[in-house]
Structure 1
Amino acid sequence: MSNTAPKTSQRKSGTSTKSAKPAKTTSSAKAAKSEARDRVRHKQKIGSRLEEYRRLTEAYVASPITMRPKDITGQDRRHHVRETILEDHAVRIDQQAFGTKEKFDKLASSLFKFFRGTSLLFHRDMLGEDARMPTVLALGDVHPENFGVMPNADNVPIFGVNDFDDAIYAPFSWDLKRGTAGFMIAAEEEGGYKRKKQKKIARKFLKGYFDGMAHFARYETESSEQMREDNAPKVIKRLFEEAKKPREDWLWDRYLNETGTGFRASDELTPISTRCDEFQKLIDKLGKQNNIEGTGRIGSLKLKDVAMRHGQGTASLGLPRYYCLLEGPLQNATDDLIVEFKKARHSALDGLVPPHEFDAGAKGDRIAHGQSVHLAKGDVFYGSAEIDGESFMTRERAPFREDIDLDDLSKKSWKAYAHACGWVLAQAHARSDEAGQLDYDVEQSILEAVMPQPLYIEDVIRSAEEAVERLRRDHVFYKEDLEKGAFDNTLSHYR
């Protein structure tokens, strides 16, 4: 019964005619409302589905008739694209990380950028594929702009694979399939070529790979050869030429403040000098970890300044990065070094490649392992570190670190460049048994596995054509969803 009498009863008894107060909520009603609020409050964020995909990979390997994401069409495919991209960017969205919106807009701007920035989506379509093929330490994200000039252990510019963020043990064919699709998309968007020319360029990439693999199978020089300015093909020689810049000019044009004692504040850099003591310890630890002697061009490993780096990359745009300025041996701001710390994540291929017994390590350690295997005598600053409980990879920034400008390639040089990229990828794979964990002859196994080679090359080309058309449809879905705000917030489970 209500605690407040109805108005009619009040009038009959001669009591006040003032309006009655609304009935108090009963304890059971209160409890129901509280429970409803708790259900909303305790909604569960949808996190990584890595383990679910790992189980699907195992199911596909065991029974190839299992449906995979690439088999989904229509609205179901649209949901898959949306949810995969949201999952891949969940931390950045939830933390409102710097550069997240910029990255989403960048992905919408072109098919090639979408391809570069959605490695997880691409590789989920491949899950469980090629279980019979020889395993290598795969690069994981092969495309025309993940090759370039960088410093080796002697500070000499070399050309090779230069992005190890997704490195993982996987069938060698995974790198070939993504690389072939990447060259076809880039040849279309950056070169303006039709399908026939795209396929010719892609074939050159594959031919370069198998030429390189045959070379290293015969001469066994994968641990000593390097593509330098003196032995590179003409198209790569031009890249070395473009990369030449005096270290002093490079430092003062872009990085140093007016006194040369630290970083210059800019759109790219925000100095955080208050953290110098913290990062000096990280540099000292990296020096011990990599047996870096504080002599010669490296100097004493003395830290001058630290800065946050903003707005770099496509796939990694929005991830935390730090630049450390180390004093050079001359101590006059003309030969300083810059070491980068970049947040490391799981490989996009993790849980998707056929099961095997090889382990490249976790996050930063995995990336450092990738560089040490893929490059003969590579950058001595490649390593791993932990900052604020998160895993980071490390490497040196250098004045001659240079990537190709695809716009400048002629019809002839496109094919020459593709062949050179295939060659250095073959060398990276060939090192998987000597520098990596494999216990069998990688080169001979790969050459045998692809016989007859002409048929295998055409199979990869056709697979890439299908992947490109699928990606084209995915890109349309993505742009429409982005415009409607689909990537403003991550998804949650509601009870």
Structure 2
Amino acid sequence: MAGKSTSAKQTSGGTPSTAKTTTDGADIQPVRKAAGKVEAFARLSEALASGESMVPPTLLTGQARREHVRATLREDHATRIEERASGTEVKFETLADDLFKFYRGTALLFYRDMVGTDGHMPTVMCLGDVHPENFGVMPDRNGAPIFGVNDFDEAIYAPFTWDLKRGATGFWIAAKTEGGLKRKKRVKVVRHFVKGYLDAMQRYAERATEKNESYRTHNSPKVIRRLFEEAWEERHEWLREDYLDPTGRGFKPTDELQPISSSIETFQKAIDDLAKAKGFEAPKRSGELKVKDVCIRHGQGTASLGLPRYYVLIEGPSKDATDDIIIEFKRARRSALSGLTPPTQFDAGDNADRIVHGQRVQLAHGDIFYGAVEIDGESFMSRERAPFRDDIDLDELSDDTWKDYAAVCGAALAQSHALSDDLGQIDYDVEPSIMEAATPRKLFLADICRFAEEAADRLKNDHKLFCEDFEDGAFDQVEMIYR
């Protein structure tokens, strides 16, 4: 069967059992390489966008759909599987745990179903992975709390509808799995998300205030003010309770934190490179940007489980461990949307540079420590951890606050998109273009709701197939191509 993938069978001596022998007795090993479909999907995107008739993955059923899901997840996690990276098994167990976690951790599968679509729609700097838990409270450039989009790992230039459809599907699934809402109420939640987006985009089209606005404690809707209040914690308490050893000179070892003090010099260079690349002098609150300690952070995130992640402790100006700063470094990779979006002349760059470009465009008042550096030849993105970095507890939302929260997230997404022609590469007026593309509004809202319901149903079936394959050991190896 074309595209079928299994691991190579090994003889007791460790060589593949498919090896042949020449007349002189020498073994000829079969050619093996990790399979991938990035280029194939890039060609499919171009073909679909140009109007050619092909079969997209959404039309696959039965065993063909099962093998597509299996191959996509193997490819998406190939590096982690091959390196036997810590957290890889936990990642797959997390995906199997429930539908919303599966949705969050399988963006590549989701976007391959969208390959080449919406090429006629206005392009923006897309977040790439919009869902209810990718909005939250975080530090701005001065270390003060703001609310907005907060995960730029998948950021890329794409049609604005890609973010709306991903977000609508996320709210549809989360409102059921986390909120227990029935279908009729889930429709209302999704409609509030899209209406929140369109209302804010209309306001930016009329007033052009997107660069000056930000959600803060004093001007946020009630549901977000509560999040600000719940997220706040004094820095010295946060450091002492969650991170520092009794001496205050380094990280304490826990199940999540693994101190690696021998790497201080490596990460001091990374911090110095970051400051140089960002072109800033050390803020007063970060002292002299002196690295006190380094640790590996285990078990964080959903999509990024199994990817290397480090915390770096920076000595604060008081030098008494009450005002230290923690900078996070996470290994970057290509966007799940790369090669799948309709062809565009706009390019955000690669790996961490792409992520940083997305943050710089979409969060006008964002964290100054958000940056891209190279560590031991690998691309890493950086950002500040803070006592008040937090996202919403979805299981605490009532029926009404689900709608309120969805509307605020839609508005926050609209602001990030509206900045595409101010701080990004878009060379035309984004806001009126989007409003025109979303006309008539009633039809646009209905289309997004229908998409979300269909995508959620498809994802539910994919999750069932994944769980069955996971139980059968399908993700212990990567896809292989044999000669």
- The answer to whether the superposition gives a TM-score over 0.5 is yes
How far the C-alpha of 1:71 sits from its partner, in A, is 1.1
CA displacement, residues 378-401 of structure 1 (integer Å, 9 cap, x when unaligned): 000000011121111000000000
Q: Name the counterpart of 2:169.
A: 181
Structure 2: distance between partners of 1:351 and 1:278: 34
Q: Which has the larger radius of gyration?
A: 1
Question: Counterparts of 1:5-24 in structure 2 under 5 Å?
Answer: none
How far the C-alpha of 1:32 sits from its partner, in A, is 5.1
Question: Counterparts of 1:37-48 in structure 2 under 5 Å?
Answer: 37-40=27-30, 42-46=31-35, 48=36
CA contact (8 A) 1:39 1:494 kept: no
CA contact (8 A) 2:91 2:305 kept: yes
How far the C-alpha of 1:377 sits from its partner, in A, is 1.5
Structure 2 residue 393 is matched with structure 1 residue 405? yes
Structure 2 residue 408 is matched with structure 1 residue 420? yes
CA displacement, residues 58-114 of structure 1 (integer Å, 9 cap, x when unaligned): 010112532111111111000000000000000000100000000101100100000
Structure 2 residue 138 is matched with structure 1 residue 166? no
Distance 1:62 1:337, change over 3 A: same
Q: Name the counterpart of 1:391.
A: 379
Secondary structure, counterpart of 2:420 in structure 1:
coil
Q: Name the counterpart of 1:488.
A: 476
Structure 2 residue 312 is matched with structure 1 residue 324? yes
Structure 2 residue 331 is matched with structure 1 residue 340? no
How far the C-alpha of 1:343 sits from its partner, in A, is 0.5
CA contact (8 A) 1:383 1:395 kept: yes
Q: State which of 254, 276, 290 in structure 2 corresponds to 1:302.
A: 290
TM-score between both structures, scaled by the size of structure 2: 0.94
Q: Name the counterpart of 1:14.
A: none
Deviates more, 1:312-321 or 1:298-307: 298-307
Question: Counterparts of 1:126-205 in structure 2 under 5 Å?
Answer: 126-205=114-193
How far the C-alpha of 1:490 sits from its partner, in A, is 1.0
CA displacement, residues 398-422 of structure 1 (integer Å, 9 cap, x when unaligned): 0000110001001110000000000
Q: State which of 22, 39, 63 in structure 2 corresponds to 1:31.
A: 22
Q: State which of 234, 251, 272 in structure 1 corresponds to 2:239.
A: 251
How far the C-alpha of 1:34 sits from its partner, in A, is 5.0
Q: State which of 250, 254, 261 in structure 2 corresponds to 1:262.
A: 250
Structure 1: distance between partners of 2:201 and 2:124: 13
Q: Name the counterpart of 2:6.
A: none
Deviates more, 1:58-67 or 1:86-95: 58-67
Structure 1: distance between partners of 2:336 and 2:89: 21
CA contact (8 A) 2:21 2:28 kept: no
What letter matches 2:407 in structure 1?
H
What letter matches 2:328 in structure 1?
E
Secondary structure, counterpart of 2:28 in structure 1:
helix
Tell me, which stretches of 5 or more residues in structure 1 are unaligned? 1-28
Secondary structure, counterpart of 1:447 in structure 2:
helix
Structure 2 residue 259 is matched with structure 1 residue 271? yes
CA displacement, residues 273-323 of structure 1 (integer Å, 9 cap, x when unaligned): 111111111101111222332242121111101111111000000100111
Q: Name the counterpart of 1:22.
A: none
Q: Name the counterpart of 1:3.
A: none
How far the C-alpha of 1:435 sits from its partner, in A, is 0.3
Distance 1:171 1:271, change over 3 A: same
Structure 1: distance between partners of 2:77 and 2:23: 36
CA displacement, residues 185-230 of structure 1 (integer Å, 9 cap, x when unaligned): 0000000011111110000000000011011111111111000010
Structure 1: distance between partners of 2:29 and 2:480: 12
Structure 1: distance between partners of 2:52 and 2:406: 32
CA displacement, residues 441-490 of structure 1 (integer Å, 9 cap, x when unaligned): 00010001111011011011111111111111101100000000000111
Structure 2: distance between partners of 1:464 and 1:140: 16
Structure 2: distance between partners of 1:64 and 1:221: 41
Q: State which of 342, 347, 362 in structure 1 corresponds to 2:350.
A: 362
TM-score between both structures, scaled by the size of structure 1: 0.92
Structure 1: distance between partners of 2:376 and 2:129: 27
Secondary structure, counterpart of 2:383 in structure 1:
strand
Structure 2 residue 54 is matched with structure 1 residue 63? no
CA contact (8 A) 1:137 1:432 kept: yes
Q: Name the counterpart of 1:112.
A: 100
Structure 2: distance between partners of 1:379 and 1:157: 10
Q: Name the counterpart of 1:9.
A: none
Q: Name the counterpart of 1:284.
A: 272
Deviates more, 1:348-357 or 1:286-295: 286-295
Question: Counterparts of 1:449-488 in structure 2 under 5 Å?
Answer: 449-488=437-476
CA contact (8 A) 1:246 1:399 kept: yes
Question: Counterparts of 1:211-250 in structure 2 under 5 Å?
Answer: 211-250=199-238
Q: Name the counterpart of 1:11.
A: none
CA displacement, residues 250-277 of structure 1 (integer Å, 9 cap, x when unaligned): 0010111110001111111111111111
Q: State which of 275, 278, 281 in structure 2 corresponds to 1:293.
A: 281
What letter matches 2:466 in structure 1?
Y
Q: Name the counterpart of 1:17.
A: none
CA displacement, residues 161-186 of structure 1 (integer Å, 9 cap, x when unaligned): 00000000000000000100000000
Structure 1: distance between partners of 2:283 and 2:97: 46
**Among the aligned pairs, what percent are the same residue?**
58
Secondary structure, counterpart of 2:328 in structure 1:
strand
How far the C-alpha of 1:30 sits from its partner, in A, is 5.7
Structure 2: distance between partners of 1:459 and 1:331: 56
Structure 2 residue 431 is matched with structure 1 residue 443? yes
Distance 1:405 1:493, change over 3 A: same
Structure 1: distance between partners of 2:459 and 2:380: 30
Distance 1:175 1:33, change over 3 A: farther
Structure 2: distance between partners of 1:165 and 1:317: 13
The count of corresponding residues between Structure 1 and Structure 2 is 464
Runs of 4+ aligned residues of structure 1 deviating over 6 Å after TM superposition are: none
CA-atom RMSD, angstroms? 1.2
